[in-house]
Homo-oligomer: A and B are copies of this chain.
């Protein structure tokens, strides 16, 4: 890996993710932490990126008060990752798989890039980017990615009538839905009304609904309901889920999976 190529990769990643951490870059690029730091130092001098504690972000503020995509994406990396690995195991060659926008589905996408060839339908620009660059860099035959159109929310999801109309044309084998809240009364929820509408269209287009939600989502009610608990065919969560939550979910959902356990 040449320095110039590495610098380019870092700039690309920063522009795509808005914020990246040094450790992730080091692992992704296969170099040491020190090298990444030195690269970021150089790139900062030329104004390509801006250095922050633990990583880099794109220059020119305005990302500090973003509705927390980057914060959440590093909040429970271990749990999210184990959930993603568990979910990736459900995907087989040739399937048509839907991925809603969100950090958990984004973690899943990272797993799926390495997996078998499938067709991915998503309304997340971030996830589409992931497959796009994965296909360019990695295997000659990558998965097909269909990006649903629409207007862009702050968290880079595409929503609105264009998105819902596009989803009406499609039929998916499997939908992985990331949610902001999961509650026995409110069901699966999100704080963004437009996103909820798009997610409902996603659910309607799919034969099977799998909800990805780490244990912190339990008891949270977002403003808008996407679906009732009963509508999910499976819920994948992590070991931190309370016994109470497990009992209720096992009653409501066809199957509850705890990531990392049989």
Contacts of A163 in B (CB 8 A): 149
> A146 interface residue, CB < 8 Å from B?
yes
Contact A11 B136 (CB under 8 A): no
Contact B151 A146 (CB under 8 A): yes
Contact A146 B166 (CB under 8 A): no
> A34 interface residue, CB < 8 Å from B?
no
Contacts of A8 in B (CB 8 A): 18-19, 62, 65
Main SS at interface, chain A: mixed
Contacts of A58 in B (CB 8 A): 133
> A89 interface residue, CB < 8 Å from B?
no
Contact A52 B149 (CB under 8 A): no
8 Å CB interface, A139-173 against B: 144-152, 156, 158, 160-163, 165-166, 169-170
Contact A162 B166 (CB under 8 A): yes
Query: Hey, which bits of chain A sit against chain B, CB under 8 A?
Result: 2-5, 8, 11-12, 15, 18-19, 21, 46, 48, 52-55, 57-58, 60-63, 65-66, 123, 125, 128-129, 132-133, 136-137, 144-152, 156, 158, 160-163, 165-166, 169-170
Contact B136 A145 (CB under 8 A): no
Contacts of A4 in B (CB 8 A): 19, 52, 55, 57, 62
Contacts of A151 in B (CB 8 A): 144-147
Q: Give 19 A-B pairs besides A149-B158, A162-B170 with Cβ atoms closer than 8 angstroms.
A: A2-B19, A2-B21, A2-B52, A2-B55, A3-B54, A5-B19, A8-B19, A8-B62, A8-B65, A11-B63, A12-B65, A62-B136, A62-B137, A123-B149, A146-B151, A146-B160, A147-B150, A147-B158, A162-B166
- In the A-B complex, the 10 residue pairs with the closest CB atoms: A149-B149, A148-B149, A5-B19, A12-B65, A4-B57, A60-B137, A62-B136, A4-B19, A4-B52, A162-B166
Q: How far is the CB of A1 from chain B (nearest CB, A)?
A: 9
Query: Known: A2-B21, A57-B4. Is A150-B146 also a contact (CB below 8 A)?
Result: yes
